[in-house]
A = this chain, B = another copy of it.
Amino acid sequence: MPIEMTLTSLDNPVFQTYMLAASIMLLKLMFQPWMTVVRMMKIGAGFRSPEDLKKSPLNPKPNATQLDVIDYVDRSRRLNLNDLETIPGFLIAGFLFVLVDPPLQLAQILIWTFVLARAAHFVAYITAQLHDVRATFWTFSSLSVIAMTGYILMQVV
């Protein structure tokens, strides 16, 4: 690596790969709550706080059943929780992985495996596929982060 180049410069193709994938996953992380909001507004239900039953511009005709758990909304919340369990871990592990200067091809494989696995997991979950299907995609994303972390650990010790 040329002396002027730092690991966290976009001139470093590993960092460039990470930054592209990280941007996509950050957008996904921020997008999921919007899906929850859209679904809540669409059916006027699936709310969570007692005060959400007050009459307001966003809720012109309140009724007590609006606090019931409804799968259409709760599915998006579960997806969000699933994102929280995986995406911040990927973003942090991926960044630390860049800092130990891994081979480009390994970085590309692990990083894009994560992104593709999460995209497939999202489709499988939102369309309510069998547990086995979404579990398979989730496994790939989890193993990708574990592999990056294992590589970091090997460089450290």
- CB interface residues, A 34-58, toward B, < 8 Å: 34, 37, 47-52, 54, 56-58
How many whole Å from A43's CB to the nearest CB in chain B? 15
The verdict on A131 contacting chain B, using a C-beta distance below 8 Å, is: yes
The chain B residue sitting closest to A47, CB to CB, is: B131
Q: Which chain B residue shows the least CB distance to A143?
A: B30
Interface residues on A, range: 35 or more
- A104 interface residue, CB < 8 Å from B? no
| A26 interfacial contact with B, CB 8 Å | yes
Q: Are A56 and B131 in contact (CB under 8 A)?
A: yes
Q: Do the beta carbons of A30 and B131 come within 8 Å of each other?
A: no
Query: Do residues A71 and B92 form an inter-chain contact, with CB atoms below 8 A?
Result: no
| Residue in chain B with minimal CB distance to A85 | B33
A41, closest chain B residue (CB): B135
Contacting residues, chain B, for A106 (C-beta < 8 A): none
A5 partner residues in chain B, CB cutoff 8 A: none
Which residues of chain B are near A75, meaning CB under 8 Å?
49
Contact B99 A8 (CB under 8 A): yes
Question: Contact between A142 and B91 (Cβ–Cβ < 8 Å)?
Answer: no
In the A-B complex, the 10 residue pairs with the closest CB atoms: A23-B153, A51-B128, A26-B149, A88-B88, A52-B131, A19-B156, A56-B130, A58-B132, A91-B92, A56-B132
